[in-house]
Amino acid sequence: MTMGTGRPMIEVEDLHKHFGKLHVLRGIDLSVATGEVVCVIGPSGSGKSTLLRCINHLESPESGRVRIDGRLAYRDEDGGVFKAHSNRAIAAVRAQVGMVFQHFNLFPHLTVMGNLIEAPIHVLRQPRAAARQSAMELLVMVGLADKADSYPEELSGGQQQRAAIARALAMDPKAMLFDEVTSALDPELVAEVLAVMRRLASQGMTMLVVTHEMSFARQVASRVVFMDHGRIVEEASPEQIFGAPREPRTRDFLRTVLER
């Protein structure tokens, strides 16, 4: 279990998001400290993935605030009136928060190395040699040093997901968001991806993880958040959530998933 330093890296305040008439996020308040690993669990449709997408500005909430490393992200506020940041300013904040998705989203026309160096070269303006060196170090870390010149279609699902994690890390983010990153994998490939995430947690990476892997949440998280119907129902230590949850809805959910 990784404990944070207490200084908030990700802060969400009273976040609301609708899709048409569907109220998906209903006033979410959440803080993730630097170095903390927070796992978000809950049934499908509870708003978990939408929360991550709002934090990374892939979706725009109607109201509420997102702060990254103490700064209001994606827009400024003046007397209660919000003004959106420029696309360049939004991209700069996004670069600080890496995100890995359920589906790998690798560029199929680029090698693994090409996928890793694309953004550092074109967004961060790193020299190609420096970007390649950093990328190779990341590939060693995720166990893919021998796949640098392979194309995504030549990799297993687990290898593609590890490459996607390395690609996000290539931007040297301050925090990482993981959205059900093992749910599209065959069961025998899940462990290799979770092993990389465990390594990141042990190295002090700030992580917000939407997951259905209860054993990972129990063993790695410093805090577990249970969401349902767009709200945070309960948040506590893994020992509290899995051992003695306070809320009946949390108990019902865990009883269902742990009996499978």
pLDDT in tens, 102-126: 888 899 999 999 999 999 999 899 9
Rounded to two decimals, the pTM is: 0.92
Q: Is 67 helix (H, G, I), strand (E, B) or coil?
A: strand
pLDDT in tens, 206-254: 999 999 999 999 999 999 999 999 999 999 999 999 999 999 999 999 9
Distance between CA atoms of residues 188 and 169, nearest Å: 24
pLDDT of res. 160: 95
Evaluate whether 100 touches 168 at the Cβ level (below 8 Å).
Answer: yes
What is the percent of the chain with per-residue pLDDT over 70, rounded to a whole number? 97
Give the burial class of 259: count Cβ atoms within 10 A of its Cβ; 0-12 exposed, 13-18 middle, 19 or more buried: exposed
Ranking 47-56, 85-94, 172-181 by mean pLDDT, the lowest is 85-94
pLDDT in tens, 15-32: 999 999 999 999 999 999
pLDDT of res. 5: 56
Residue that the structure tokens 């690993």 belong to: 37
Average pLDDT, the chain: 92
* C-beta neighbour count of 169 within 10 angstroms: 22
pLDDT of res. 94: 85
